Amino acid sequence: MSEEDIKKLAEYRLFLEERIKELEDQLETYRGILRVIDENLKKLSFVPAAEYSVEKEITEEAEVRPLRRQKDGFLLANAYVRRDSVTIVPAPDVELYTSTPPFRSFFIGKVLEGMRRKDENETSIGRVPKDKTLRYTIDEKDGKIEKITIYNYRERSRLNEIINTATWTFTKMLEKTRM
């Protein structure tokens, strides 16, 4: 390969990196606009926000995986699995609060943040593209969890770990609130 060819490839790479950054910025702006629209729709709609979220999730053709308490099969939540994200929505009759242990300390602090930190390390050495690092959002109202969305789980084993630990965490949270 000639020096001219290498220079062209480097220019193409730089162009693509800049374009990807622009598109990511646009996407973030569009997501912000969608959040504002969703919040206003929730205020104006007669459909409860939880039902609206679930209907919206189902229409996006996701695989639905129920999260059930092991001892009795009680439905804790549903996980809506897509190729690059999973959204966990508590069942309508289940009230889970972000302040109830072990949600923040274990599920967020150890599991999700652990995966995110691992991805950042992998990104720093070039193994994982920056736009593929795990990230998550928690939608809540007055501390009550409405949905948790985890983006870029990337591997089936990580998806299973997220769903299994969410099930365990939600079970423990309900035990603490019903004591």
Determine the Cα–Cα distance for residues 88 and 148; give it in Å rounded to an integer.
5
Tell me, yes or no, if the pTM score tops 0.95.
no
Which residues are CB-neighbours of 133 under 8 A, at least 6 positions away?
A: 116, 119, 120, 122, 123, 152
Q: What is the pLDDT of residue 151?
A: 96
The answer to which of 110-114, 118-122, 175-179 has the lowest mean pLDDT is 175-179
Q: Is 22 strand, coil or helix?
A: helix
Mean pLDDT of the chain: 87
Running DSSP on this structure, what letter comes out for residue 131?
G
Helix (H) or strand (E) holding 136: strand 135-141
Cis omega (within 30 of 0) for bond into 102: yes
Residue 121 has pLDDT above 70, yes or no: yes
